[in-house]
Structure 1
Amino acid sequence: MPAADRPHRRSAVQRLPRLLGNASMAATTALRSITDDPLTFGIQLARRFPTARGPLLAAARGARGSDRALVETWLEGDLTSTREALDALAGRGGLSRLAAEVAQAAGRPELVADDLAAHPATRARAAWQLGEANEAVTLLAEHAPRSRLHRALRAELALMTPGTRLRWTLRGQTPSNAPRDGVLHLLTNSLPHTQSGYTVRSHEVLKAQRGADLAPTAITRVGYPVVVGGLAARSVDVIDGIAYYRALPARLAPTPDGRLAQQADALAALAGKVAPAVLQTTTHYPNAIVVREVADALGLPWAYEVRGMLEQTWIAGLGSEEARERATASERFRLTREREAELASDADAVFTLSGSMREDLVSRGVPRERIELVPNGIDAAILDRTPPLSADARAALGLPRDGFWVGSTSSLVDYEGFDVLIEAVRLARAGGHDVRLLLVGDGVARPALERQAADAGLGDAARFTGRVARDAVTNYRDALDVFVVPRHDRAVTRTVSPLKPVEAMASGRPLLVSALPPLLETIGAEMERLGSAFIASSPGSLAIELVRLTADASRRAQLVDAGRRRAAELTWSAVGSTSRRSLDAVCS
């Protein structure tokens, strides 16, 4: 063998045990799901892995009549049409088991939970999705007491109940008096395997902490990224000098509490290796449960970063007002809120994104003095960048130079409010203004939005790019004459602050946002005074602002200047300073 080939051969041999271990974990996890309920497994597979939709769509063609049409519609991603079809089927005497599974995947569990003819396991999952946790567990206790689903839901109910501690003990190491330094993070997921607002913020927080000499390290949840398709995952990824460790046992425990115990083992083992001075994690409560146990066992302080309210995000994903009302009144909703408050109160420091989120936590009993605001930020270097003219940026992307282009870079989900933006563009064009739409990103609402744009007669004046590479997002943002964040007024949008408006301001783009508390807090008083906010869920209000901006270059320039000033106050270096101050205090 040539000497030059030997390192590559050794590297391949060294990778083999890791690949086999990852394959073993994926195979055993899939086998459990297939054995328990092959139908549900197929539906979930299609949701998680879009590449699996082709074969599943072909298989669906073997179904009969309305079931076949329903599954084809759902697999094609048309959520609105799927929900309409489900309503029609339910009105004609109930859903088949296949249709019931699609109903849950489409956010319509209320069509299943009360149907006494439905399969008990299907009804139980629907009840759980509606937050009726004890009803779900009781159904399974009566009809499938030995099932893995019954054990899993019982364990999940216990984990969300305040006062429950994880059954876990530290093995093989004891608390040490050796010098400790740095912050060890437990994250749900991370770059490079997942591109999302969560992973981008996590990476920026870690870099900011490194800039503040906090020596951060991270580990992701047990099984990740293998459980989302990353079969070639390594034990550690290093990105921009930040190490992301993976907890990849050969076999995942079959119940939620078992997997959290595996996570605690991995976190404690890594803590023994890197000797952190403090542990830190993010919502939601399973992460906090693990970090609290490990911190107590090792005698370390810990910090909890509350990035969102789990129960609000869950409810926002339900597809009808009835489902949302039932879920809001449910025990799961109440227990989740109480559990998050309990864990935040137990943390030595709490970080959160906005004043509205802080007030929510305080209203639940979390001590105000323990909560630090750590808003979304930007790299200060962006402020030194001179953005191109929007027409030049469009030309570089193959888009028309002419027209007044408005839009966003975002996940396309219902609560983001892009239906409002499409209608506002239609109204502006009906008034004789050449306003055009560019939406960059993908999500469950995309098919419905594309259909709405087509029905509105926008034609080539509406462009949907789908998902683009992370390093290409800036180019598309530059192509916009106005960046719009048209979020609907929902519980989740009244507390959670997104990253994209800060990036838009820093990038030198005029910004319009829905007048919701976290967005108003993000843009600041000067931007609000200049008219950067419009009435949430009001296409007419947004259309008026868009038309005003098409005709007023000086106002656009004012918004750009004010936005850059505001963005300069929201840098990741400021986040690092806040982290340094707070974590030094809890470690002293």
Structure 2
Amino acid sequence: MPSAAPASRARAGATARIRRLASNASMASSTALRSIVDDPLTFGIQLGRRFPAARGGLLALARAARGADRELVERWLEGDVAATRATLDGVTASGSLSRLGAEIAQAAGRPELVADDPSIHPLTRARAHWQLGEASAAIALLAQHAPRSRLHRALRAELALMTPGTRLRWTHRGPALAGDRDGVLHLLTNSLPHTQSGYTVRSHAVLQAQRGAGLAPTAITRVGYPVVVGGLRAAALDTVDGIDYHRALPARLAPTPDGRLAQQADALAALAAEVRPAVLQTTTHYPNAIVVREVAEALGLPWAYEVRGMLEQTWVAGLGSDEARARALASERFRLTREREAELASAAGVVFTLAGSMRDDLAARGVPAERIHLVPNGIDEALLERDVPPAADAREALGLPREGFWVGSTSSLVDYEGFDVLIDAVALARADGHDVRMLLVGDGAARAGLERRAREAGLDAAAVFTGRVPRERVVAYRDALDVFVVPRRDSEVTRTVAPLKPVEAMASGRPLLASDLPPLAETAGPELARSGALVAPDDAEALAQRIAQLASRPALRVDAAALGRQRAARLTWSAIARTYASHLRAICE
């Protein structure tokens, strides 16, 4: 007689999935309801930004708005940030913004148009001050006009968390880990398969490399993720390429930032008790480190901090005007964030970072230099071993034209990446008689503006924007390029942070052309730099001239590709894993 065990397990699995879906729905609905009650305008603006599928319905509703508000909403929901900012300038030149207009201004990175206008609602002005980094000004405004609001409580908690010396109010209710312990438990902000970004791709590569080095890694993501980014059907565990990503998914998220970090600490400690790691590891920015420090001390474990970026610089770079960026750089929030990151990095047993510029920045802020170790972006050796198809063949396989000289990138489409400079360079090269075409693979806030700029430059038939593509298809699009371009603009963040994509391009046998910025120069190496792989940032004419040289001289491309592969061969994840292994084992002794 057949056993009933398989059917019983199937029913149990189905029941568990239903319970998880119900819990996720409870979290998502309570979080959304709280946002709607607190500020329905902000919720609608954020909904349009996070969920493009909602933009159609919101755009239909926008037609009920009048005058400037209607135009602002339409520009914003179309995803054209540059056009939205231009419209905002036109509106503010002749008067004040409405409350709806003020919310759009903040969403478009123009909080300076809102913060100092007394005619705008105090809650909206407080958020604008916060976005500019003027934390105490935001809290004082709320204390005067909305002292019992959830926003007032949340911003006070945020300010406390970013202030050096503040400890998380959290109590571990179990014992320290004793006995045999093994492996590395990571706390990550987000991960595959729900988010595809430079951060998640690197995280996955690090976990795989550590597994290859015998470090037995596992990971947990921030509390509420991925439900809070739309993953309503998220499971408590995802396994990708044999790597386990655990989720912290309570039925209800705490209403304040410190409360959510306490929930995160509970989940991390519970998972640590189950998997019994020898060491904890986390990445920037400081909320992750706050949690890991508390849990590590409670469990008697060492911990490591990987500084992948200077988040305060990324925040400033995302603002949409020189005035906003200047105010943010001079702000309380900018100063405190830098001090807090340095404090937490100094508390870790070991600090990993991606580039010499980042190492030097941390050391200048007082982090002990002997504890900082470089773990640059790397590549899988398989990229070096594969047969790379001719670019024209790769394009044909994707349904793109074989003809033409194709330049471009696989990247998030944000302002500081400098793709507007690349568009101008392609237009200049074409004007000089070169059949140069552009392929940009990825999505982001700047995409609609870049598409409009390409049309205005007459590149309708010579510029392809694919949007986001599946992770496994990125290499095929990279193969389709004759030259891989990283045209980053010159800013604080781009002078410090090293991206992953140039290393992958070099390993794929594609000539690299990048802005002459310290992290990119370090990634390319001296041989490629001397060969002409670096051009002045923000200089479309210089970029166009180098593209034209590469287009007309195939031997230059062959040499550049060979130098790039030689450089990438020294940046494999297996080699980088040895750095992790030696220093993680050292702090466990």
TM range (shorter): over 0.9
Structure 1 residue 95, shift from structure 2 partner: 0.3
Structure 1's unaligned 5+ residue stretches are none
Structure 1 residue 25, shift from structure 2 partner: 0.6
- Secondary structure of residue in 1 paired with 2:337: helix
Q: What letter is aligned with 1:107?
A: G
The number of aligned residues is 586
- Secondary structure of residue in 2 paired with 1:459: coil
Q: What letter is aligned with 1:267?
A: L
Q: What letter is aligned with 1:127?
A: H
- Provide the residue aligned with 1:24 in structure 2: 26
1:49-60 → structure 2 map (5 Å cutoff): 49-60=51-62
Structure 2's unaligned 5+ residue stretches are none
- Provide the residue aligned with 2:114 in structure 1: 112
- Provide the residue aligned with 2:130 in structure 1: 128
- Provide the residue aligned with 1:242 in structure 2: 243
Q: What letter is aligned with 1:332?
A: R
Counterpart Cα distance in 2 of 1:93 and 1:408: 41
- Provide the residue aligned with 2:153 in structure 1: 151
Q: Deviations over 1:301-334 (max 9, x none)?
A: 1000000001100001100000000000000000
Counterpart Cα distance in 2 of 1:261 and 1:176: 19
Counterpart Cα distance in 1 of 2:390 and 2:463: 20
- Secondary structure of residue in 2 paired with 1:113: coil
1:450-469 → structure 2 map (5 Å cutoff): 450-469=451-470
- Secondary structure of residue in 2 paired with 1:378: coil
Counterpart Cα distance in 2 of 1:452 and 1:229: 31
- Provide the residue aligned with 1:167 in structure 2: 169
1:359-398 → structure 2 map (5 Å cutoff): 359-398=360-399
Normalising to structure 2: TM-score of the pair? 0.98
Counterpart Cα distance in 2 of 1:358 and 1:10: 50
Q: Deviations over 1:337-370 (max 9, x none)?
A: 0000000011100000000000000110001100
- Secondary structure of residue in 1 paired with 2:219: strand
- Secondary structure of residue in 2 paired with 1:432: coil
Counterpart Cα distance in 1 of 2:320 and 2:244: 39
- Provide the residue aligned with 2:548 in structure 1: 547
1:509-528 → structure 2 map (5 Å cutoff): 509-528=510-529
Structure 1 residue 99, shift from structure 2 partner: 0.2
Counterpart Cα distance in 1 of 2:61 and 2:479: 43
Structure 1 residue 459, shift from structure 2 partner: 2.3
Q: What letter is aligned with 2:429?
A: A
- Provide the residue aligned with 2:97 in structure 1: 95
Structure 1 residue 272, shift from structure 2 partner: 0.5
- Provide the residue aligned with 1:285 in structure 2: 286
- Provide the residue aligned with 2:297 in structure 1: 296
Q: Deviations over 1:147-187 (max 9, x none)?
A: 0000000000000000000001101x111321111100000
- Provide the residue aligned with 2:435 in structure 1: 434
Counterpart Cα distance in 2 of 1:464 and 1:523: 26
Q: Deviations over 1:254-299 (max 9, x none)?
A: 0000000000000001110011110000000000000000011111
- Secondary structure of residue in 2 paired with 1:489: coil
Counterpart Cα distance in 2 of 1:164 and 1:291: 14
| Percent identical | 72
Counterpart Cα distance in 2 of 1:176 and 1:310: 33
- Provide the residue aligned with 1:179 in structure 2: 180
Counterpart Cα distance in 2 of 1:157 and 1:418: 35
Q: Deviations over 1:215-251 (max 9, x none)?
A: 0010000000111111111111111111111001111
Counterpart Cα distance in 2 of 1:135 and 1:576: 45
Counterpart Cα distance in 2 of 1:78 and 1:513: 26
- Secondary structure of residue in 1 paired with 2:327: helix
- Provide the residue aligned with 1:410 in structure 2: 411
Counterpart Cα distance in 1 of 2:422 and 2:31: 42
Root mean square deviation of aligned Cα: 1.2
Q: Deviations over 1:524-548 (max 9, x none)?
A: 0111111111111111111111111
Counterpart Cα distance in 2 of 1:410 and 1:264: 33
Structure 1 residue 9, shift from structure 2 partner: 4.7
Q: Does 1:193 align with 2:216?
A: no
Counterpart Cα distance in 1 of 2:105 and 2:476: 38
Counterpart Cα distance in 1 of 2:491 and 2:337: 18
Counterpart Cα distance in 1 of 2:454 and 2:29: 42
Counterpart Cα distance in 1 of 2:267 and 2:11: 30
Counterpart Cα distance in 1 of 2:459 and 2:241: 42
- Secondary structure of residue in 1 paired with 2:378: coil
Q: What letter is aligned with 1:539?
A: A
- Provide the residue aligned with 1:224 in structure 2: 225
1:264-343 → structure 2 map (5 Å cutoff): 264-343=265-344
Q: What letter is aligned with 1:28?
A: S
Counterpart Cα distance in 2 of 1:175 and 1:469: 42
Comparing 149-158 with 441-450, which one deviates more in the overlay? 441-450
- Provide the residue aligned with 1:35 in structure 2: 37
Counterpart Cα distance in 2 of 1:243 and 1:228: 20
Structure 1 residue 472, shift from structure 2 partner: 1.0
Q: What letter is aligned with 1:54?
A: G
Normalising to structure 1: TM-score of the pair? 0.98
- Provide the residue aligned with 1:206 in structure 2: 207
- Secondary structure of residue in 1 paired with 2:218: strand
Structure 1 residue 461, shift from structure 2 partner: 1.1
- Provide the residue aligned with 1:474 in structure 2: 475
Counterpart Cα distance in 2 of 1:268 and 1:458: 54
Q: What letter is aligned with 1:290?
A: V
Structure 1 residue 10, shift from structure 2 partner: 4.4
Q: Does 1:75 align with 2:100?
A: no
Q: Deviations over 1:97-117 (max 9, x none)?
A: 000000000000000000001
Counterpart Cα distance in 1 of 2:375 and 2:327: 33
Structure 1 residue 5, shift from structure 2 partner: 7.5
Q: Deviations over 1:500-551 (max 9, x none)?
A: 1000000000110100000000010111111111111111111111111112
Q: What letter is aligned with 2:559?
A: Q
- Secondary structure of residue in 1 paired with 2:165: coil
- Secondary structure of residue in 2 paired with 1:178: coil
Structure 1 residue 13, shift from structure 2 partner: 2.2
Counterpart Cα distance in 1 of 2:385 and 2:12: 46
Structure 1 residue 8, shift from structure 2 partner: 5.0
- Secondary structure of residue in 1 paired with 2:220: strand
